[in-house]
Amino acid sequence: MTEQDRVEVEILLKPAGGEMPAHVGAISTQRPDPGNVERCRRWFAAKGLDAYATDFSVVCSGPKTLIEEVFGVKLTATDGRPGTPPFWAEPGIAPPADLAELIESVALPGRPDFFP
């Protein structure tokens, strides 16, 4: 698999307390339940993706075709400018139905812009 065939997805989980905080200072009190983070990580890993847990999210990566299958999208390459995601998802990328109640958002991260 070439680097161009590998896709990364960032999955932000819902906070344990319900709503997202109104200010940055409250973020540390709004972590998702660690059990939910692990449940999501295992679900994505069972689908064949590399899945890594953080305090607030799960980051997955895998072949483009597998990402398309797991998320039910068609990925189209973008022009590759820094700061933009390498792919555009049609329809928009959303949580898998099995985990929707645990996930706040799903995103295709942009390429870093090291020298603006």
pLDDT in tens, 95-106: 999 999 999 999
Q: Do residues 71 and 96 touch, judged by C-beta distance below 8 A? A: yes
Residue 63 pairs in a beta bridge with 6
**pTM, two decimal places:** 0.84
From the list 82, 79, 85, the residue with the least C-alpha distance to 110 is 85
Q: What secondary structure does DSSP assign to 12-66, as a single string?
A: EEPPTTSSPPSSGGGGGGGPPPHHHHHHHHHHHHHTT-EEEE-SSEEEEEEEHHH
Choice between 18 and 68, residue whose per-residue pLDDT is larger: 68
Output the six-digit token pair for 85: 């995601």
Output the six-digit token pair for 83: 């700061």
83 confidence band (pLDDT: 50, 70, 90) = confident
